[in-house]
Amino acid sequence: MTEQQQQYFLKQGFSQKQIEEIALGMENGVPVSVYAFKELMPQNMYQIRRGLEEGFDMHAYATPDYGWFQLEEIRLGFENNVDVSKYDDANISYKKMHQIRRALEEGNDLSEFISYEHDVLKKIRESKSLKIDIIPYVRQGYNAEQLEEILNALKDKLDIFQYIDVSFPGAAIHEIAQGYRSNADVDFYARDCYSWKQMREIRVGIEKQLDISYYMSPLFDHRQMEQIRLGLEEGLEVEYYNSLMYTANEMEAFRNRLKNGFEEEIVENDDLLDLVDLLEVNAEEDIHVSISDDDMEAYLTVSPNCKESLTKKDILKNLRYSDVTQNINMRMIDELLQGKHIGEKVLIAVGRPPKQGEDGRYEFFVKADSHKAPKILSDGSVDYSGGGDYEMIKVGQKVAYYHSATKGIEGRSVTNKRIPATRGKELEMLKGKGFFVLEDRKTYVAATDGKVELNGNLLEITKVINLEEANANTGNIRFNGNIEIAGDVSGGIRIEAGQDVIIGGFVEDAFITAGGNITISKGVNGGGVGELKAGGEVTAKFFETVKVTAGKCITANYSLNSELYSEGEINLSGKKSVLVGASAFAAKEIKAIDVGNMMGVQTKIKLGVSDKMKAELYRINTARNDNNKKLDILIKSEKDFQSKFSQEERDAMEMYIKIENAIYTLNIQEEELKKEYEDLMDVIAITKDACLVVMGNLYDNVLIEIDGKRTMSTQSNNVTVKKVSERVGIFKNN
């Protein structure tokens, strides 16, 4: 742009930013007359210019009716070859435009739903990409927060819909769905008389197998419910405070007193007291009673001065004067009356300590996932033929029974104070799939025939397909459970399992995917095209010219010209194990006898943090940052309400309830993301010690990379390769 042209535009009233956009258009050879209007914001000019530079017709959009965010969505639509006429109306907000454009890019048209809010459009778009129909719920008037929970429930195949309606906030629908996920009986709390916070307290109580009858009354607010629930979890006698007459703060004070050994004095009749005229109780100076600090032992000292006149009534009167009434040793009193122990300090009474209750426990009626350990053969190789042994169960068969925690037996001090006993701790309900819980909430029964697996608190019963072999006659196999093949798998066959794949024979150039483990008793020759991919472990006798990916460990006797990728470790077992050719990656460790060979075939070894881990860490951190920004804004709003209105007033305000619900939802997401972050960081921490352990020969021409640092091997024997001080070193094993 010449100085003369710039002066012209300045005289016409264009700003410097607008003139810069016009100048850039001139430089890039676009018809600036399309957007050289001073009524247009510089940002609008920018979007129109960008569109013109990319060859798009932007004439219709050179009007101040459009915001620059709207123009950006239109331009991006042109760039991605979608029909922008579906949303290029200036009356449509840019947020709606964004969702419609994204949907068109994904092959879906949302223009018929354009009257809905942008956040609802987002849920419709997400549901269509997942091929899940939420439109009936959209038409019923559910908002975006509710639709989020409905979509998640449909993804997880949860039948929550008999319990919900439009009046339930998203947080309440979440509590109902969570109950389904944990096999809790949602009938107890999926009612409109409870707030979502009350629902949460009842759900957690059911999952922890507590006696929720102590706090199920909807008249308790969620804070009171929480204090009663916590007391039950701690094994306390909540009868002391589970009354509507106490506030949540008062309940908390009671609970803390009980936790710290709260004692209550009990007024009872005692046969021994009948011997004493309470009106005459005065201490004898020659009879001294002392009590231990914990009130559990009482001692008596009788002076020689009263040896001749001492009576049982004198002793009992002095004990009563000191409030000692429980578990008095009458034999010791008789010995004192016989003249024994005079002048000595003797133990005269001992309190009864409380007996704590037994913790809850599960009794299992099947052996869960009982794999046989592999056999080490005489030649040093490993036999994996026992890898598929597990116990099968039939539908209707009892799987487990929960024995509830028992109530303890209270104790008494020597001064007749009650010492509460702690009830045993309850275990949480088993989570998982393939079973149901009877009405007693204790008996777990198989809902299907299948394989039983127990991992901590997760019980899964999954169906199993059994085949003799997999070949052209059987065709490809796809099953959302376990697949077991007794014989071989032929080339070209595709096998997909939601759980484990167990193969008793050899595998040719097949494609096998498992959500769980892949176990192959013989070996794999992939012919350069075969592939194994497991969310868990991959185990075989050998790998030849095959690509293997495992979320956990890879184990075999040897690997030849194969691509191995493990998020855990690679272990080539046996006396003749060798890793040669192609590549191997492991996050933690690669172990073999020999790596490479005498011919110098190039072998690439890589260890440490994987690209997948880095991408996952970026995703989690980005999501957490976004969540925290939203939480900061919401918490400030919440505090503003709290400073201006009472709790009763706030509870009646729709906006405050929405803020609470949003904070709760974001906190749940933060807890989930934090758990993902911690789990990932645990894995990444392990990679800091990543190493290659070679117990035999490390040959020439092995390229070793650890966390971006490389070295090329030279012939060595019995060594460990690891990163030290930002360099990869080769160290002799001890």
pTM: 0.63
- What is residue 376's predicted lDDT score, i.e. its pLDDT? 53
Residue 377 pLDDT level (bands cut at 50, 70, 90): low
Closest CA to 242 of 253, 257, 256, 227: 227
Report the share of the chain in percent with pLDDT over 70: 93
- Are 386 and 372 within 8 A, CB to CB? yes
Residues 6+ apart with CB under 8 A from 258: 231, 236, 237, 240, 420
**Cα–Cα separations (whole angstroms), residue 694 to 382, 517, 557, 726:** 18, 26, 14, 21
- What is residue 188's predicted lDDT score, i.e. its pLDDT? 94
| Stretch 192-210: mean pLDDT | 93
**Cα–Cα separations (whole angstroms), residue 661 to 145, 175, 657:** 9, 12, 6
- What is residue 575's predicted lDDT score, i.e. its pLDDT? 73
pLDDT greater than 60 at residue 414: yes
Q: Tokens 């949907």 map to which residue? A: 103
Residues 6+ apart with CB under 8 A from 493: 470, 471, 472, 474, 475, 476, 477, 510, 511
- What is residue 547's predicted lDDT score, i.e. its pLDDT? 95
Give the model confidence (pLDDT) of 612-623 as tens digits. Answer: 888 899 999 999
Look up residue 90 and give its two tokens: 């200036």
Give the model confidence (pLDDT) of 139-152 as tens digits. Answer: 999 999 999 999 99
DSSP string covering 635-667: HHHHHHHHHHS-HHHHHT-HHHHHHHHHHHHHH
Residues 6+ apart with CB under 8 A from 607: 585, 586, 587, 588, 589, 590, 687, 690, 691, 692, 704, 705, 706, 707
Q: Tokens 């920004």 map to which residue? A: 629
pLDDT greater than 80 at residue 283: no
- What is residue 375's predicted lDDT score, i.e. its pLDDT? 54
What is the distance between the alpha carbons of residues 626 and 476, in angstroms, rounded to a whole number? Answer: 43
Give the model confidence (pLDDT) of 443-500 as tens digits. Answer: 999 988 888 888 888 888 888 888 899 998 888 888 888 899 999 999 999 999 988 9
- What is residue 372's predicted lDDT score, i.e. its pLDDT? 45
- What is residue 720's predicted lDDT score, i.e. its pLDDT? 94
| Stretch 498-527: mean pLDDT | 93
Paired strand residues for 435: 446
- Are 462 and 432 within 8 A, CB to CB? no
- Are 704 and 710 within 8 A, CB to CB? yes
| Mean of the per-residue pLDDT values of the chain | 88
pLDDT-wise least confident of 31-35, 114-118, 461-465: 461-465
**Cα–Cα separations (whole angstroms), residue 142 to 113, 175, 180, 674:** 14, 16, 20, 29
User: Which amino acid, 453?
Assistant: E
User: Which amino acid, 462?
Assistant: T
CA atoms within 13 A on the CB side of 261: 9
| Stretch 704-719: mean pLDDT | 90
Give the model confidence (pLDDT) of 712-725 as tens digits. Answer: 988 999 999 999 88
What is the distance between the alpha carbons of residues 45 and 63, in angstroms, rounded to a whole number? Answer: 10
DSSP string covering 49-103: HHHHHTT---GGG-STTS-HHHHHHHHHHHHTT--GGGT--TTS-HHHHHHHHHH
Closest CA to 549 of 577, 522, 511: 511
Give the model confidence (pLDDT) of 378-413 as tens digits. Answer: 555 455 444 444 567 888 999 999 999 988 888 999
What is the distance between the alpha carbons of residues 612 and 482, in angstroms, rounded to a whole number? Answer: 26
User: Which amino acid, 31?
Assistant: P
- What is residue 390's predicted lDDT score, i.e. its pLDDT? 57
Residue 599 pLDDT level (bands cut at 50, 70, 90): confident
Residue 610 pLDDT level (bands cut at 50, 70, 90): confident
State the DSSP H helix or E strand holding residue 225, giving kind and residue range, or none if neither. helix 222-233
The number of residues in the chain equals: 734
Own/partner contacts of 247-255, CB < 8 Å, gap of 24 or more, are: 248/221, 248/223, 248/224, 251/224, 251/227, 252/227, 255/227, 255/230, 255/231
What is the distance between the alpha carbons of residues 252 and 244, in angstroms, rounded to a whole number? Answer: 13
Give the model confidence (pLDDT) of 630-667 as tens digits. Answer: 899 999 998 998 898 887 788 778 788 878 878 888 88
Look up residue 179 and give its two tokens: 């109950």
- What is residue 379's predicted lDDT score, i.e. its pLDDT? 52
Give the model confidence (pLDDT) of 546-574 as tens digits. Answer: 999 999 999 999 999 999 999 889 999 77
Q: What is the DSSP letter of 700?
A: S
